[in-house]
């Protein structure tokens, strides 16, 4: 994270946002009225939702009769631990932290605009503050079993104007099996086309074997360097040059991690880069 270009970036963002607002201002009303007239119009207005868990992971899902609205419950089916796995935004929007100890537990609501929202229940912890603008594939929480839940899972919903919709991922409607291990979903969320190219700043930046300050040093970047970030994850919190950040980037060609503080981009978590 680095703010050298923040003034220019902010200006650009403001201009783009203004143009975007002008272009899209009529959309919510149109989407709302279209939804009443047909599924085709409704689907056309929906965001392109992706799986609420990391790129490449395979999960199974089910829907039970006591379930609220048109939710699906997801658990991992690839040998990894469901508990503790990052929960990802299935589309961009504005995140809000919610809590319902007797029901949904800790959960996040993302408002995607146009009347569309997604819910992510039973989080062990939140990863973004309320009001955060999140991008598709960004980590918003950690999978857990808070609230009324018999085990770690992601309870996931897509709503239009407050009404639960049949869940669509990547443009395809998911079935609603009553048991796990009948249907599966492999995530392409946050894959980011294999990472991104960035430039580092600062001098004598240590590259470490893992995302922790006590990990062995495997290399040093003597000065600003073009790097390809293959993935990123949270590790030791680093405070340097007036910034604090616990995200680290895994560098393809240097074989290790650097703190995102030294990646020349204004965001703490880099956009378009998958979670490791």
- For residues 147 and 235, which CB has a smaller minimum distance to Zn ion in the complex? 147
Contact stretch for Zn ion (CB under 5 A) within 108-116, 152-160, 180-188, 245-253 = 152-160
| Chain mean position to CA 5 | 24
Of 71 and 88, which CB lies nearer to Zn ion in the complex structure? 71
Contact criterion met (CB below 8 Å) for 208 and 218: yes
**68 versus 209: smaller Cβ distance to Zn ion:** 68
Nearest to 206 by CA among 216, 196, 198: 216
Q: Are 229 and 249 in contact (CB under 8 A)?
A: yes
The CB-of-184 to Zn ion minimum distance in angstroms stands at 17
Exactly one of 73, 91, 134, 208 binds Zn ion (CB under 5 A); that residue is: 73
Residues with Cβ within 8 Å of 121's Cβ and at least 6 positions away in sequence, in order, are 104, 105, 107, 147, 149, 154, 155, 156
Quick one: 149 or 246, whose CB is closer to Zn ion? 149
Closer residue to Zn ion, CB minimum distance, 73 or 93: 73
Of 155 and 233, which has the nearer Cβ to Zn ion?
155
Do 123 and 168 form a contact (C-beta atoms < 8 A)? no
Cα–Cα dist 225/254, whole Å: 11
Q: Strands (DSSP E) along 165-242, which ranges?
A: 168-169, 172-173, 184-186, 196-199, 205-208, 217-221, 226-240
Q: Does 157 bind Zn ion (CB under 5 A)?
A: no
Stretch that binds Zn ion, among 25-33, 49-57, 63-71, 236-244 (CB under 5 A): 63-71
| Shortest Å distance, C-beta 157 to Zn ion | 8
Integer-rounded Cα Rg, in Å, for the chain is 20
Q: Please answer whether residues 53 and 81 qualify as being in contact, where contact means their C-beta atoms are separated by less than 8 angstroms.
A: no
Nearer to Zn ion, 75 or 207 (CB): 75
- Which region holds residue 85: left if phi is over 0, alpha if psi is between -120 and 50, else beta? beta
Taking contact as CB under 5 A, which single stretch among the options 66-74, 76-84, 109-117, 257-265 is the one that binds Zn ion?
Answer: 66-74
How many residues does the structure list for the chain?
Answer: 276
Interaction mask 21-60, Zn ion, x per CB under 5 A: ----------------------------------------
Residue 117 sits in the site that holds Zn ion (CB under 5 A): no
The strand pairing partners of 248, in sequence order, are: 233, 259
Q: Does 155 help bind Zn ion (rule: CB under 5 A)?
A: yes
Q: Which stretch binds Zn ion (CB under 5 A): 88-96, 149-157, 198-206, 227-235?
A: 149-157
| Least distance in angstroms from the C-beta of 28 to Zn ion | 28
| Sites of contact with Zn ion (CB under 5 A) | 71, 73, 155
């Amino acid at each position: 994270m680095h703010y050298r270009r923040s003034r220019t970036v902010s200006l650009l963002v403001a201009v783009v946002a203004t143009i975007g607002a002008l272009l899209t201002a009529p959309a919510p009303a149109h989407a709302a009225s279209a939804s009443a007239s047909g599924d085709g119009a409704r689907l056309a207005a929906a965001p392109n939702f992706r799986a609420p868990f990391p790129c490449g992971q395979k999960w199974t899902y089910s829907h039970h009769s006591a379930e609220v609205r048109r939710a699906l419950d997801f658990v991992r089916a690839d040998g990894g631990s469901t508990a503790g796995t990052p929960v990802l935004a299935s589309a961009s929007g504005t995140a809000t932290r919610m809590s319902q100890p007797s029901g949904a537990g800790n959960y996040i609501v993302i408002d995607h605009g146009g009347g569309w929202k997604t819910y992510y229940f039973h989080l062990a912890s939140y990863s973004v503050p309320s009001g955060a603008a999140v991008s598709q594939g960004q980590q918003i929480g950690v999978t857990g079993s808070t609230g009324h839940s018999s085990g770690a899972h992601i309870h996931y919903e897509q709503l239009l104007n407050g009404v639960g919709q049949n869940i669509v991922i990547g443009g395809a409607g998911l079935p609603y099996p009553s048991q796990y291990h009948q249907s599966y979903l492999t995530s392409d969320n946050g894959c980011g086309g294999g990472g991104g190219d960035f430039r580092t700043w600062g001098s004598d930046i240590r590259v470490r074997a893992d995302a922790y300050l006590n990990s062995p040093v495997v290399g040093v970047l003597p000065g600003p360097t073009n790097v390809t970030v293959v993935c990123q994850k949270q590790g030791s919190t680093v405070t340097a040059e007036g910034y604090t950040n616990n995200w680290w980037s895994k560098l393809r060609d240097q074989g290790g991690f650097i703190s995102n503080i030294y990646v020349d981009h204004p965001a703490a978590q880099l956009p378009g880069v998958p979670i490791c």
